[in-house]
Structure 1
Amino acid sequence: MRVLVASDPGSVGRDNEDWVHADERLVAVLDGATARTETGCIHGVTWYARRLGSTVVDLAYSYSTPLPQALADAISRVAAEHQDTCDLDHPGTPSAGIGLARFRPGGLEYLVLGDVSLVIGQGGKLNIVTDDRVSRTAAAERAEADRHPIGSPGKTAALLAMKHAELAARNVPGGYWIAEADPKVVEHALTGSCQVSEQTRVAVLSDGAARAVTLGLLSWPNALDLLRAEGPTELIALVRQAEAEDPQATRWRRNKCSDDATAVYVDGFTP
């Protein structure tokens, strides 16, 4: 079994708000949600992603614990760690998307909550598990932000308005669901399982790495092929090249020139 991992911060000198664990039993990719407002938390998004990630890995490592239960318990434990110092009811309290894939002999289980993508290739067939509910919120504010080039005052103001609209839709019916302080959000995660074969390929990507597809640079089948042939580092390098060629986001509309990017690729399964 082969497990390949790469993670790269979006900006030099800034913390990587992604977090990753990957081995032959469990993959966990967390994508901390960018904070553009006050959060009510003294720790921040990077701390939250790291604490939630390490806690859910500890809990999910046992096959006897269902992945939704592991994530719900991890959310509760991390909330307990900072409820005495931070306002967990603050609308901007730190949050993170998460993708989990757990491998057992002959099969795998998965969970996706928030904007992390999990792709399972079975021969010529692909199962793409992507939670796009956040990208469907704040449509008017998102369109306004896309009108402005990165670095302009208009972009900054529009992104703040978009963030407020997104936070109003976070973890409420009709909005989107993401890990923060309430374990009940796990009820809205995308979950499933499947058998694996020697042909099975699995990738888990934060949205910064998934730009290889969402910017139109590659199709999902081609992205899996690149991951198999050259690995996650080269996939992220392709994204970075495109971002560098369009620093103001006038060709490929996006909120940040470069985003934190994490990709995990797994193959070589024994049925």
Structure 2
Amino acid sequence: MAKKRPEDPPKGAPAWQSTFSDLMNLLLCFFVLLFSMSTVDAEKFQLVIASLSSSISIMPAGGTSIGDGKLVGAGVSQLEFLDKYYNDLANSKSHTESTTEGEEKNVEEQYEQMELSESEKMSEEIEKQLENTSLEDAVDVDFNAEYVQLSLNGALLFESGKAEIMQEAYPVVNKISTILASYQNNLIEVEGHTDNVPVSSRSRFESNDVLSMYRALSVADYIRTNTNLDPSHIKSSGRGDYDPVADNTTADGRARNRRVEIKVYNSYNSDLNN
């Protein structure tokens, strides 16, 4: 007796449905991950969608999935207002960055104004004391947002080519030291300056740089010795002829360049730890 032919097994779903189902699952995971991000870069997101648009056959070739057409051409509609949402997000981020920069600039301007106000107040106090001691004609006072500057003519303090303070200048330096003694918590810097005429061969200083350094040191040491200021708050340096305030081609200009500057830094710029 012939064997009975077994029945054919029931046919499964078409192969394209499996492929489509896998694709839908991938898209679902993609959007779940997308919306779970704390921050989204709208520009990068658009680039990703545009890449998918041109590489997956079920999406309209050549189109962009954000802003026009459908997200998936086979029936899954693009999320409404998604384009507007990410554009608004990008604009909001740009506006926040611009606001932050403006606020930082405003804070810097306010801080600088506070520095300048303190320096101006210090300058007025020093000028008043100079008038009381009859030194207003011997000392030039200027200020900026960092410090108040007192400028003394070098000929008033030193003989030509020398760095020792003349005895005749002691009363002047004493009065200035008394004024500086009021600024116990401020950094004080003494700078020596010269003209551009080379030092004499008979001088014990090999250059204007060295001469200016020793002159600044002489004034700084005198202030340390004759005040109760913390010695570590007083610094000295020589600038030689590198920072002129007048034309070195004239005798008057060279005389103005031979000077000693005393800078009293305001509280905002007095770093006393260095």
- Superposition TM-score tier, normalisation by shorter sequence: under 0.3
TM-score normalised by L of structure 1:
0.22
TM-score normalised by L of structure 2:
0.22
Bigger share in strand: 1
Bigger share in helix: 2
Rg larger for: 2
Which structure is richer in relative contact order (CA contacts within 8 A, separation 6 or more)? Answer: 1
